């Protein structure tokens, strides 16, 4: 059995520009972003023939495509999705939408969720026709440049709506030779002209914000609820706290509220050399020591 024939991109084998003239003069950064170039050949027939030839090789019992499917290109040729779902999925197929919101997706040069929805619909249809129970496993990333707190909340709501509970989540970390790394360190978008007027990119860098973004991917974990509640209240989204179906996390229990009050009762503000003297509490003895005594009149 071959566990994964896909490679980094499973379904771009022999895909190329259909116009040599356009290819010579093209200045696009990507053939597939912000949309698929009309000159790009999205015919998956060479890939389908390759899969069929591989299945006929002596000693081959099963060939799987475990990951690497570029679903926005696959939907341009449904024949490929049918071949994939019928012969090359072992129950689960990993794909990488990375996010649901336009802000971070545009910085990743990734397609919108419309392509994912269409791919899932076709994948489910062809899996059912083949008599197979198969599922998509989407990958998401947190704290990527261009991601606001509100974007992560919307992603968490999408996950809950579609009943996804992620076990393993990943925060973005800068790595060499990546556009995202440039955004992380400069706060600028290198996909356009760089200058003092370049597009500013929101970068989640602080430890608390990065922990929040990661926690929102695991909204179902009770250990993350206090941090998520605090963030939702700060964003004016307190309506997402409760037991209703459209809520993200439940309200705190009585025991949790008692514990929070107990912790607040045993804390006090720390005084530093910058603390205004008027706000410092003084003992009666100290106050009396600083009180001026009015001199008595002396008679002659």
Q: So what's the pLDDT on residue 300?
A: 40
206-260 per-position pLDDT tens digit: 999 999 999 999 999 999 999 999 999 999 999 999 999 999 999 998 777 777 6
* Helix, strand, coil percent values for the chain (each to nearest 5): 40, 10, 50
Binned at pLDDT 50, 70 and 90, residue 278 comes out as: very low
- Looking at residue 267, what is its pLDDT? 55
DSSP H or E stretch at residue 170: strand 170-171
Confidence of residue 299 (pLDDT cuts 50, 70, 90): very low
Please count the helices (runs of H) and the strands (runs of E) in the chain.
12, 3
Mean pLDDT of the 59-85 span: 96
> Closest by alpha carbon to 65, among 54, 79, 78?
54
The model's confidence at residue 273, banded by pLDDT at 50, 70 and 90, is very low
Residue 19 region by backbone torsions, left for phi larger than 0, else alpha for psi between -120 and 50, else beta: beta
Is residue 6 within 8 Å of residue 66, measured between CB atoms?
Answer: yes
Closest among 227, 141, 223, 232 to 178, alpha carbons compared: 141
What Rg, from alpha-carbon coordinates, does the chain have?
Answer: 29
* CA torsion, ordered 106, 109, 113, 116, to nearest 10 deg: 180
CA–CA distance, 78 with 76 (Å, rounded to integer): 6
Rounded alpha-carbon distances, angstroms, from residue 43 to 48, 73, 125: 10, 9, 21
The structure's pTM equals 0.83
Give dist(CA 120, CA 104) in Å, integer.
21
pLDDT for 104: 97
First-to-last C-alpha distance (Å) of the chain: 118
Cα separation, 12 vs 69, whole angstroms: 9
Quickly state the pLDDT bin for 32 (edges 50, 70, 90). Answer: very high
Nearest to 185 by CA among 175, 171, 195: 175
- Order of strands across the sheet with 92-98? 92-98, 135-142, 170-171
User: Who wins on pLDDT, 5 or 238?
Assistant: 238
Reported as a single tens digit per residue, the pLDDT across 123-143 is 999 999 999 999 999 999 999
> Whole-angstrom Cα distance, residue 206 to residue 188?
18
The answer for residues whose C-beta is within 8 angstroms of residue 225's C-beta and 6 or more apart is 249, 250, 252
Chain-centre distance for alpha carbon 132: 30
Q: What is the dihedral of CA 84, 110, 105, 78, to 10 degrees?
A: -40
Among all chains, which residue has been given the structure tokens 């989407």?
138
3-state secondary structure of 126: helix
């Amino acid at each position: 059995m071959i566990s994964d024939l896909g490679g980094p991109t499973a379904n771009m084998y022999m895909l190329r520009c259909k116009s040599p003239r356009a290819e010579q003069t093209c200045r696009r950064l990507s053939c597939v972003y912000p949309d698929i170039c009309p000159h790009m050949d999205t015919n998956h027939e060479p890939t389908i023939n390759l899969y069929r030839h591989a299945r006929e090789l002596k000693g081959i019992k099963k060939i799987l495509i475990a990951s690497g499917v570029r679903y926005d290109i696959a939907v341009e040729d449904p024949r490929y999705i049918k071949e994939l779902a019928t012969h090359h999925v072992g129950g689960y197929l990993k794909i990488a939408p990375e996010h649901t919101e336009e802000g971070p997706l545009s910085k990743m040069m990734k397609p919108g969720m419309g392509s994912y929805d269409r791919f899932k619909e076709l994948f489910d249809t062809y899996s059912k026709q083949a008599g197979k129970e198969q599922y998509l496993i989407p990958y998401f990333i947190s704290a990527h440049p261009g991601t606001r707190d509100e974007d992560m909340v919307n992603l968490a709501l999408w996950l809950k709506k579609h009943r996804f509970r992620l076990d393993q989540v990943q925060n973005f970390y800068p790595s060499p030779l990546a556009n995202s790394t440039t955004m992380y360190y400069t706060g600028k978008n290198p996909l356009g002209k760089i200058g003092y007027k370049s597009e500013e990119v929101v970068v989640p860098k602080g430890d608390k914000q990065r922990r929040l973004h990661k926690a929102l991917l695991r909204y179902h974990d009770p250990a993350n609820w206090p941090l998520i509640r605090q963030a939702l209240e700060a964003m004016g989204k307190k309506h997402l706290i409760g037991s209703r179906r459209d809520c993200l996390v439940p309200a705190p229990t009585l025991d949790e509220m008692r514990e929070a009050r107990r912790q607040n009762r045993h804390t006090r503000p720390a005084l530093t050399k910058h603390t205004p003297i008027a706000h410092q509490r003084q003992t009666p003895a100290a106050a009396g020591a600083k009180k001026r005594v009015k001199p008595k009149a002396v008679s002659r």
